[in-house]
């Protein structure tokens, strides 16, 4: 399924997700036609079980889709919608058509059948009709909330992507279910981290290609700057980190199934967040002043890298979680955790 | 070159004495100035503010009194500009006139040029930009192509400059232009003071990645200049330009560009930092103290009439690494994604400086250029 | 080259099944093995230990059964060697035979050579070293000068190798030697299997900065070799050597060299790390997981018969940065100066690996060489 | 006085402190003749007031001496003896001739006129006759202790310099006095940090000179490796950090007088500790395999850099102290602290 997904998404994005389209969205427009085209392709339901009307794809099947979303600077909550519908499906709830996002941070509580509190940093919160969240309460619950019931505080990240706060006051969810016991209360943060890791990997593929091309073309001191050793080595480092991001994202998706593979996902977001800064820095250093202009497309990707690395848990946040778990388990647990891809001691205490 | 040239140089008491007055002025003048604009620092343009500084005697203050300056010591000027930068004051309007054009006109200018420009510079009323880079001449400055040909007692200029900060709101440009046909690339270059209100000049602002417009493309199409527009000696432009590089590379603007973020970071972290936050904030402060001492040591060398070009490159490269590292490390210290609309002061300053930081190692000589100069000074090239 | 070649490759269950047995063996065999010796890892020489591994079938295990091997999959071998390295087992004695010489003899050797060497390698009894570098040929390997001339049906070798790990305690060296006069530097090179007990060979250990003796100078003075000492094709030595580089650059030894320090660090920090300690330890673990996946992806490429030279260089360079960064960061995490005598396990392992770390980016291709290869793979040279 | 000191010390060290002499000391020998020559030159008493029989030099006068000690890998506790005698003098006690070191870490307590506890990481502890420490008790006291009364646990740093633990059990100090109120209880740690900062600066001057020379001589691919841009830029970075270390050490010494200038000293040790790792790394990368051999002199200096950066407070230790003080004082105190070279809020709370 992977190859089919990758090729159809690549065709779709390269037709529709032009630099102009991205810039228009950054100006505040909601790209109705683009969303309609993406939704028509079925990807928002890709991870929903066939029994619930989805494509029944695995996480491994869609890693390429997410990387491509990153590569093309897709200005839509497609990753969020896929994650949201996956969680609805995993919770036995029907998937949602139409615009959809996730709320991974905030103070939402479900009490007496109503949800109150703030959902913070909701991607495209002002534009979507629905939001999926895990609400606290007697037991954590997956809830589907209508955004029309929320007060919106607008916030925008460095890529001009909306990251809004939605405040709910005693709102009856459109659907709700107990969070499956196999999933942790931070499942949306973890899932969002996995999405962003893949998007960063794709974005790094873009800036690597741009830097390589530019270095081969731009002439200074009578030769292409790509023939200078200092430039070559910087681009080599960018390539190394792009490769590490791709690898770690692929591993995280491949190891996730009904539940998200916590250790590989943490590793992926940590590596991707580190790579994002390095990659953006090298790409700008290579491009010089031209890459610093609004006219050049480089910033479409680097501004995303600068925000995505911080979203759904920064390098520090996930590293500290992982480091605390490893120290808690003791040195003899380190290597077995690495080879098993599972931190046994952590899994016990985390949920 | 020598590391021993980094001699510890305290600011003399009479210069230090200025500090309290500057701080008091800024506390008042900037009391409602928002954090995100303080992050703009020497890219922040405010003609009125520059005029107010001029009235205080803080623009062109090292110039002779007969030209409107204060004959202040380089250290007194240092105190003023570092206080302005640390506070994030909008100094861009007069910045290039104060740092480069004024001293250059004093050094190379005719009496008429001095009369025309220096008093107005010192009043904070005449703004300059520097026309150096061209589309195919970034790091490789000697390859510039803009050309002035002599016609009678006039010069006629054709060509294009790019990345010219403030060209769209300056009165004059000092431009490096080719006047000779010499085969050696650094020869045959001259500097001109160009009145930007003349016909034959088109200025087109270039939007940067944050959407702001600081720099420009400037086109010269049969621009006619009087003979006395040339400054210094015809054909000696390269030497004149490189002589000022040490001034341009060692000032406090070379390591203070991200200080607004250190301020909002400390506020965001609060009084009880964790082990990671404390370590990184302390480390930044230590490097700031040291960079400032290095910059002051270069200032002392310049004041003594030496040419600390190597030492200035050291300050500039270390400073740019420092300025660029602050946003990179800051995003590791608080779980607060950067925001360009909405969000806290810290999130906004973080967003702004994260996006600006790549330019810190471009302006004033790229990292590659500077490290090449340092290596050459060590005898490696 | 392509980043897409880093495909996630799980270790197959039948290879994974070996792990428990290897772990149990090591837990027993190394139960009193001190931490500071575990830091020696694949530089730790213990002939008896190698023989014990040979008896378990864990040396040369991917070689055909008819030559004494186990016909195990590359992934099974991977499981064994990564467990050995993670435990800090002393594997140096058989390391080069297992990684390079065995596969090379299988690939290029005559039946007689296979018979002479492979079974003994698999028993963990025949140790090899690799004769590559020469005094004036470090990174620039194609400039080697050691020469073999033909005399009747013999070869006579003169010259010098240097930095030859384990030459003083190996039975054989596979050496790259100049046999032709070709003007292209990479041509006219051949590989020889040299019995180190022959007359005409002087081996002089070189003490490293820790005082240990791992590597050597080896002098050849009219060394006479039989015609069948050559391995592979005369004049094709360069191709034979470069073909194995992907094997040499992508194994777990390229990122596990400092794992002993991660272990003592976690012990020293204790169960409740502070914010700085937790961050750095977690970050190292994340990179370790990713490097291992990259290394396994290259293993899968090799198993499929591809030549992932570019990808292997990526693993080697990222791995060396990782291995070198661990002691540099570890010294920031505990207020415990490194010690070479006295002090805790952690202080000793920290001291040892701090001193060894500079070599991690020298062996197997310097950082400059690797980044050059990566850039060339991107089309930049 | 500075120039005179520098030139006489440089002459002395270049005559006597050869690589062979250093290596002999690393083997465990105490260099009696070298010590005698250094002591005869008067430097152990340099910082002692003239009224107490010393040279009455300022800290600024001796910065060069300490840098030279680092440049030449001086295998003697000269820095420690200078610091110890300075503290004795500042406390109104007579200076000590003969071998002398400091104890900046440990558990020493003075009670009823006797000192009990462990002095940890005492430089050359096994070789010196006396140790100066600040002992805890009713009030902190400067004590001069005879090492013959101590049990010695031997420890050696990466430069094979003794860093011993000395255990005292109810030992009567040879001299003692209340710690002057102008000084903080961590004065020896602070002073040791300042010494090591200057030694590191000197050591970096050495490795910079060695790397530059070697890069100009070593030929690979038909040209000196110093003509490769990647090598040039690495050495440039080494030079930058060497310069930063020299600058920060000079500032710390220049600002110290009767008391040590805490903020400049902290800055110096932080910058030096960071530079030490960078400098050693670059020097080894440039030298390649030859620099990794025992025969080559490079390691005499790099092994010192690797230990000195951790002694008397690591980068982390001092950075955290400084960072906590800055956060405690609030953002508006940052810049005034930098320009004044004093962290007012900190000085109040630290002592």
Mean local confidence (pLDDT), C199-213: 95
- In sequence order, which residues have a C-beta less than 8 Å from that of residue C325 and are 6 or more positions away? none
pLDDT at residue D325, rounded to an integer: 97
Q: Is C279 on the interface with B (CB under 8 A)?
A: yes
Whether C1 has a pLDDT exceeding 80, the answer reads no
Chain A's closest residue to C85, CA to CA, is A335
Extract the tokens encoding D261: 């200038």
pLDDT at residue D350, rounded to an integer: 44
Mean local confidence (pLDDT), C262-278: 98
List, for residues C279-323, the tens digit of each pLDDT value.
Answer: 999 999 999 999 999 999 999 999 999 999 999 999 999 999 999
List, for residues B205-247, the tens digit of each pLDDT value.
Answer: 999 999 999 999 999 999 999 999 999 999 999 999 988 888 8
Whether C174 has a pLDDT exceeding 60, the answer reads yes
- In sequence order, which residues have a C-beta less than 8 Å from that of residue D275 and are 6 or more positions away? D200, D201, D204, D241, D242, D244, D245
Mean local confidence (pLDDT), C36-48: 92
Whether B1 has a pLDDT exceeding 70, the answer reads no
Query: In 10 A of CB C358, how many CB atoms?
Result: 24
Whether D347 has a pLDDT exceeding 60, the answer reads no
Between chains, do D316 and C276 touch, taking CB under 8 Å as contact? yes
pLDDT at residue B374, rounded to an integer: 96
Between chains, do B283 and D270 touch, taking CB under 8 Å as contact? yes
Percent of chain C with pLDDT strictly greater than 90: 90
Query: In 10 A of CB D6, how many CB atoms?
Result: 17
Q: Residue A156 has what DSSP assignment?
A: E
pLDDT at residue C183, rounded to an integer: 61
pLDDT at residue B138, rounded to an integer: 78
The residue among A22, A157, A309 with the most chain B CBs within 10 A of its CB, best to mutate, is A157
Alpha helices in A32-168 (DSSP H): 32-40, 59-71, 78-90
Query: Distances from the Cα of B100 to the Cαs of B89, B167, B303, D253, in angstroms?
Result: 19, 15, 15, 34
CA distance B91 to C182: 66
Between chains, do D230 and A228 touch, taking CB under 8 Å as contact? no
Cross-strand partners of B159: B220
Average per-residue pLDDT in chain A?
95
Chain C's closest residue to B276, CA to CA, is C276
CATH level 3 topology of B131-236:
Butyryl-CoA Dehydrogenase, subunit A; domain 2 (2.40.110)
Are residues C43 and C352 in contact, defined by beta-carbon separation less than 8 angstroms? no
Whether B263 has a pLDDT exceeding 90, the answer reads yes
Whether C266 has a pLDDT exceeding 70, the answer reads yes
- To the query of whether residue C248 is one of the catalytic residues in this protein, the response is yes
Between chains, do C279 and A331 touch, taking CB under 8 Å as contact? no
Extract the tokens encoding A164: 């809004």
Q: What band does C247 get if pLDDT is binned at 50, 70 and 90?
A: confident
Between chains, do D246 and B278 touch, taking CB under 8 Å as contact? no
CATH top class, domain C130-237: mainly beta
The angle at the Cα of A57, spanning A55 to A62, to the nearest 5 degrees, equals 120
Q: What band does B180 get if pLDDT is binned at 50, 70 and 90?
A: confident
Percent of chain B with pLDDT strictly greater than 70: 99
Which of A288, A309, A315 is nearest residue B362 as measured by Cβ atoms?
A288
Query: Distances from the Cα of A43 to the Cαs of A80, A144, B337, D229, in angstroms?
Result: 11, 19, 28, 48
Whether C46 has a pLDDT exceeding 70, the answer reads yes
Q: What band does C344 get if pLDDT is binned at 50, 70 and 90?
A: very high
Name the residue with tokens 């030209």: B67
Spacing of C-alpha D303 from chain mean position: 14
Residues of C with CB under 8 A from a CB of D: 133, 136, 138-140, 143, 162-163, 206-209, 211, 276, 324, 328, 331-333, 335-343, 351, 354-355, 358-359, 361-362, 366-368, 371
List, for residues A122-158, the tens digit of each pLDDT value.
Answer: 999 999 999 999 999 999 999 999 999 999 999 999 9
Give B185 or D261, the one with higher predicted confidence: D261
List, for residues B272-289, the tens digit of each pLDDT value.
Answer: 999 999 999 999 999 999
Whether A23 has a pLDDT exceeding 90, the answer reads yes
Q: Which CATH number fits domain C244-377: 3.40.50.720, 1.20.140.10, 3.30.70.2740, 3.20.20.80?
A: 1.20.140.10
Average per-residue pLDDT in chain C?
95
Average per-residue pLDDT in chain B?
95
The minimum CA-CA distance between B357 and chain A, rounded to whole Å, is 9
CA distance B339 to A164: 11
Q: What is the set of domains in chain A, with CATH numbers?
A: 2-178 (2.40.110.10), 187-350 (1.20.140.10)
| Domain coordinates in residue numbering, chain B | 3-126, 131-236, 244-377
Chain A's closest residue to D232, CA to CA, is A230
Mean local confidence (pLDDT), B58-72: 97
List, for residues A295-347, the tens digit of each pLDDT value.
Answer: 999 999 999 999 999 999 999 999 999 999 999 999 999 999 999 999 865 55
Mean local confidence (pLDDT), D322-344: 95
Whether C173 has a pLDDT exceeding 70, the answer reads yes
Q: What band does A351 get if pLDDT is binned at 50, 70 and 90?
A: very low
pLDDT at residue A344, rounded to an integer: 66
pLDDT at residue D343, rounded to an integer: 85
Whether A349 has a pLDDT exceeding 50, the answer reads no
> Which residues of D fall within a CB distance of 8 Å from A229?
228-230
**Percent helix, strand and coil across chain B, each to the nearest 5:** 50, 15, 30
Whether D122 has a pLDDT exceeding 90, the answer reads yes
List, for residues B72-130, the tens digit of each pLDDT value.
Answer: 999 999 999 999 999 999 999 999 999 999 999 999 999 999 999 999 999 999 999 99
Q: Which CATH number fits domain B3-126: 2.60.40.1150, 3.20.20.300, 1.10.540.10, 3.40.50.2300?
A: 1.10.540.10
pLDDT at residue C182, rounded to an integer: 65
Q: What band does D1 get if pLDDT is binned at 50, 70 and 90?
A: confident
């Amino acid at each position: 399924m992977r190859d089919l997904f990758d090729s159809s998404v690549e065709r779709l994005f390269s037709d529709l997700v032009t630099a102009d389209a991205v810039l228009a969205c950054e100006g505040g427009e909601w790209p109705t036609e683009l969303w309609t085209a993406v939704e028509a392709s079925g990807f928002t339901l890709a991870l929903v079980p066939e029994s619930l009307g989805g494509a029944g794809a695995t996480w491994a099947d869609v890693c390429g889709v997410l990387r491509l979303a990153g590569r093309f600077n897709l200005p839509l909550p497609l990753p969020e919608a896929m994650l949201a519908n996956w969680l609805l499906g995993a919770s036995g709830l029907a998937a949602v058509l139409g615009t959809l996002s996730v709320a991974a941070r905030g103070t939402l509580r479900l009490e007496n059948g109503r949800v109150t509190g703030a959902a913070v940093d909701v991607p495209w919160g002002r534009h979507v009709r629905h939001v999926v969240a895990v609400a606290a309460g007697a037991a954590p619950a997956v809830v589907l909330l209508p955004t029309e019931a929320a007060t919106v505080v607008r916030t925008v990240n460095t890529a001009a992507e909306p990251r809004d706060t939605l405040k709910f006051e005693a709102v009856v969810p459109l659907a709700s279910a107990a969070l499956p016991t196999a999933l942790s209360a931070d499942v949306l943060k973890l899932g969002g981290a996995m999405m962003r890791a893949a998007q960063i990997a794709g974005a790094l593929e873009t800036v690597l290609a741009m830097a390589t091309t530019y270095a081969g073309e731009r002439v200074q001191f009578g030769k292409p700057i790509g023939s200078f050793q200092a430039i070559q080595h910087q681009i080599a480092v960018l390539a190394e980190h792009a490769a590490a991001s791709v690898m770690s994202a692929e591993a995280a998706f491949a190891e996730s199934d009904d539940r998200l593979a916590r250790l590989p996902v943490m590793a992926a977001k940590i590596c991707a967040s580190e790579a994002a800064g390095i990659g953006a820095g090298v790409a700008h250093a290579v491009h010089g002043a031209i890459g610093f202009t609004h006219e050049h497309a480089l910033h479409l990707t680097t501004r995303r890298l600068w925000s995505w690395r911080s979203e759904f848990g920064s390098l520090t946040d996930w590293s500290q979680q992982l480091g605390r778990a490893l120290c808690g388990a003791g040195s003899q647990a380190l290597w077995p955790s690495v080879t098993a891809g599972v931190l046994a001691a952590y899994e016990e205490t985390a949920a | 070159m020598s590391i021993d040239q980094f001699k510890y140089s305290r600011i003399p008491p009479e210069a230090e004495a200025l500090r309290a007055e500057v701080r008091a002025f800024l506390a008042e003048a900037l009391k409602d100035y928002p954090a995100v604009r303080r992050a703009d620092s020497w890219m922040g343009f405010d003609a009125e503010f520059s005029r107010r500084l001029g009235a205080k005697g803080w623009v062109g203050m090292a110039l002779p009194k007969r030209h409107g300056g204060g004959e202040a010591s380089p250290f007194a000027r240092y105190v003023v500009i570092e206080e302005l930068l640390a506070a994030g004051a909008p100094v861009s309007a007069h910045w290039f006139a104060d740092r480069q054009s004024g001293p250059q006109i004093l050094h190379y200018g005719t009496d008429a040029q001095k009369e025309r420009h220096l008093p107005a510079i010192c009043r904070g009323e005449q703004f300059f930009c520097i026309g150096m880079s061209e589309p195919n001449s970034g790091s490789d400055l000697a390859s510039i192509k803009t050309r002035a040909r002599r016609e009678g007692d006039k010069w006629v200029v054709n060509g294009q400059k790019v990345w010219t900060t403030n060209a769209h709101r300056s009165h004059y440009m000092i431009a490096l232009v080719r006047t000779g046909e010499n085969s050696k690339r650094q020869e045959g270059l001259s500097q001109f003071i160009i009145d930007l209100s003349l016909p034959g000049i088109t200025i087109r602002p270039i939007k940067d990645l944050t959407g702001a417009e600081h720099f420009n493309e400037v086109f010269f199409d049969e621009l006619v200049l009087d003979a006395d527009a040339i400054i210094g000696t015809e054909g000696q432009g390269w030497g004149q330009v490189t002589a000022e590089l040490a001034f341009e590379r060692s000032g406090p603007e070379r390591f203070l560009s991200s200080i607004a973020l250190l301020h909002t970071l400390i506020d965001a972290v609060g009084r009880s930092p964790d082990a990671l936050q404390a370590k990184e904030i302390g480390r930044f402060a230590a490097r700031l103290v040291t960079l400032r001492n290095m910059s002051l040591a270069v200032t002392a060398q310049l004041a003594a009439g030496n040419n600390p070009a190597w030492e200035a490159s050291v300050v500039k490269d270390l400073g740019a690494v420092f300025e660029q590292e602050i946003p990179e490390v800051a995003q590791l210290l608080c779980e607060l994604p950067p925001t360009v609309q909405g969000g806290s002061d810290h999130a906004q300053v973080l967003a702004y400086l994260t996006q600006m930081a790549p330019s810190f190692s471009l302006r004033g000589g790229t990292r590659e250029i500077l490290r090449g100069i340092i290596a050459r000074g060590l005898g490696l090239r």
